[in-house]
Structure 1
Amino acid sequence: MTAPTIIPGAPGGTRTTGGARATLRRNFWRGVGRVLRRKPSRMLGVIILAVFAVMGAFGPLFYPAQLPRDNNALYAAPSLIHPFGTDFEGTDVLALVITGARYVLLTGLITAVIAIVLGTGVGLFAGFRRGRWDSLLMRITDMNLAIPGLPLLLVLSTVWKFTSAFEMGLVLGLLGWGGVARSVRAQTLSLRERGFIEAARGLGLSTKHIIGRELLPSMAPFIAMNMLIAVTGAVYAQVGLFFLGVLPFEANNWGVMLNLAVFGGGALTTTAALPYLLAPLLAILLLTLGIVLVVDAMDEIFNPRLREE
């Protein structure tokens, strides 16, 4: 049982630690609700991201592994049956967008998690410890930033087919953590001179405790926003690689659709394949819009000055 903690001004003079934390959580989520309701566009961003999350998680379950084809409806115009028309094989374009979302979104999520975990860990430790550790970790970070991503992926594509979203996310994440590490280190250098960090060091608390319990919670909003931005970057990177034909077309995703629409269907010269081109572009645009609107909301949620305005 948690020991009671004295809270000045609380009814009865005491509350349990668990009760105080529950109250803080309720107040936090109420504040989140107020921020989202203040601008309907922010709620729209949450809805967009929720729709894409559901699409990536459950969308492919509503379609067979081999999507049906209609040889009599090649590049069919948009209709009630095919809202975005069909492709060069008579396959419904909307079905291709939905089934291709899982690979794209899962890759983006894996990339962001790897980049944020590695970048945050390196940046926090280097910025807090300074000295030789800082120099060593920053040289490693500089080497990561100097790695040419496209040539490396060209070489790896001869070995890996990247049919798995984990493989693609792993490579992009290992290539993309350097910028996060630099940003987190800069934030850590600023925070380590604050009074609460000096007090923690004066009490003799361990480095692990100070980083995990003091620095990391203070930087959580910055890290969360960087994670959403990393998802966007990963989506652009993988779609661009598939569009350019750098990676083999072993998996259905939006980049493959763009490549086939432009180089196979001549979407830039004929209107027949234009819906096939616009559907994945619209999906990417909506996903980016949702992330931008949610990041805008997060900035106000975690910034007391903006909440008071």
Structure 2
Amino acid sequence: MSATLLPETTSTSATMRRNFWLGVWRVMRRKPSRMVGVVILVGFVLTAVFGPLLYPEHLPSNADAISRPPSWEHWFGTDPQGRDVLALVITGSRYVLLSAGVTAFITVVLGTAIGLFSGFKRGRWDTVLMRITDMKLTIPSLPLLLVLATVWKFGNPIQMGLVLGLFGWGGVARAVRAQTLSLRERGFIEAARGLGLSTRHIIGKELLPSMAPYIAMNMLIAVTGAVYAQVGLFFLGVLPYESDNWGVMLNLAVFQAGAMITPYALGYLLAPLLAILLLTLGIVLVVDAMDEIFNPRLREE
């Protein structure tokens, strides 16, 4: 019997996967802007992975090209040390995206685990975990980062991502718990409990796949928040300037190069701002596509 059903099961799974990807393609093709979002995100990932390989670890200064305005040779001009601004954006992208990725991963994994377990178990576990989450949400992260900056220099993007992730999981935990409380009353969860399946199985095999689209969108949104957080901290001077980061560029452009009052230094300010805006645009377009892919009502419209 099992040998007879195995090919049919495999064929059904393959058909479902094929139909899913065909649906994804239809949704992406419906609005070309969504494909633009995918291209933008892929471009940033490739830039972060391969871009720094094109330049030395620390770009050398050039006394003959200090604070040059934009030109064909230097599209966004040069900084007060004579370094190409576009090259600084490219080399700084690895720190920004790697730390944002680590932040999003920790935020989503920790927040999802706590929210799922709390919402499913309820009772004392729910009370304890939500009180911890509430305490986490009330703790201001900026003063803690100021203290940690005296110990860590955050030259490693993984350190930055770890700290921001540990500070940012509370909102995700609350949101996932609310979703879990709604799903746990559905028929398929009641059936799984009636069959005596373990909590681990129900959460891992029943609840988690149903919430995967929501979790994926939260991960992309967490990437945006992490980029804003780290860039803002570097711009405010909270963290040492020992890392290639777009926030460091913004700080030096405003307070060292005088980009707000000097026209030829404007490119030094605009380059990291455009990179942040372009990355945000790509994430917004992809999240819009994911919302329609996983929302049957939107697909039918």
Quick check: TM above 0.5? Answer: yes
| Pairing of 1:7-86 with structure 2 (within 5 A) | 15-86=7-78
Distance in structure 2 (CA, Å) of the matches to 1:211 and 1:225: 19
Partner in structure 1 of residue 113 of structure 2: 121
CA contact (8 A) 1:197 1:214 kept: yes
Partner in structure 2 of residue 276 of structure 1: 268
Is 1:243 the counterpart of 2:241? The answer is no
Say which of 218, 240, 255 aligns to 1:226. Answer: 218
Distance in structure 2 (CA, Å) of the matches to 1:3 and 1:250: 62
Report the CA distance between 1:305 and its aligned residue: 1.2
Distance in structure 2 (CA, Å) of the matches to 1:176 and 1:260: 28
Amino acid at match of 1:32: V
Report the CA distance between 1:79 and its aligned residue: 1.3
Q: Greater RCO between the two (CA within 8 Å, min separation 6)?
A: 2
Report the CA distance between 1:35 and its aligned residue: 0.6
Partner in structure 2 of residue 217 of structure 1: 209
Greater fraction of residues in helix: 2
Report the CA distance between 1:4 and its aligned residue: 4.1
**Normalising to structure 1: TM-score of the pair?**
0.95
Percent identity, please. 74
CA contact (8 A) 1:240 1:255 kept: yes
Is 1:97 the counterpart of 2:97? The answer is no
Partner in structure 2 of residue 177 of structure 1: 169
Report the CA distance between 1:68 and its aligned residue: 3.2
3-state DSSP of counterpart to 1:250: coil
3-state DSSP of counterpart to 2:63: coil
Is 1:193 the counterpart of 2:167? The answer is no
Amino acid at match of 1:305: R
Q: Tell me: CA distance 1:183–1:3, structure 2 relative to 1, closer, same or farther (3 Å).
A: farther
Distance in structure 1 (CA, Å) of the matches to 2:39 and 2:67: 31
CA contact (8 A) 1:4 1:17 kept: no
Report the CA distance between 1:3 and its aligned residue: 4.0
Distance in structure 2 (CA, Å) of the matches to 1:185 and 1:3: 41
**Normalising to structure 2: TM-score of the pair?**
0.98
CA deviations on 1:52-100 (whole Å, 9 max, x unpaired) are 0001111100111231332122111111111111000110000000000
Say which of 254, 259, 281 aligns to 2:251. Answer: 259
Distance in structure 2 (CA, Å) of the matches to 1:81 and 1:219: 49
Amino acid at match of 2:221: I
Say which of 286, 291, 303 aligns to 2:283. Answer: 291
Report the CA distance between 1:15 and its aligned residue: 4.0
Amino acid at match of 1:28: F
Q: Structure 1 residues 69-78 or 93-102, which shifts more?
A: 69-78
CA deviations on 1:146-165 (whole Å, 9 max, x unpaired) are 11100000000000000001
Is 1:131 the counterpart of 2:119? The answer is no
3-state DSSP of counterpart to 1:72: helix
Distance in structure 2 (CA, Å) of the matches to 1:146 and 1:188: 23
CA deviations on 1:87-128 (whole Å, 9 max, x unpaired) are 001100000000000000001000000000000000000000
Distance in structure 1 (CA, Å) of the matches to 2:135 and 2:195: 37
| Pairing of 1:198-209 with structure 2 (within 5 A) | 198-209=190-201
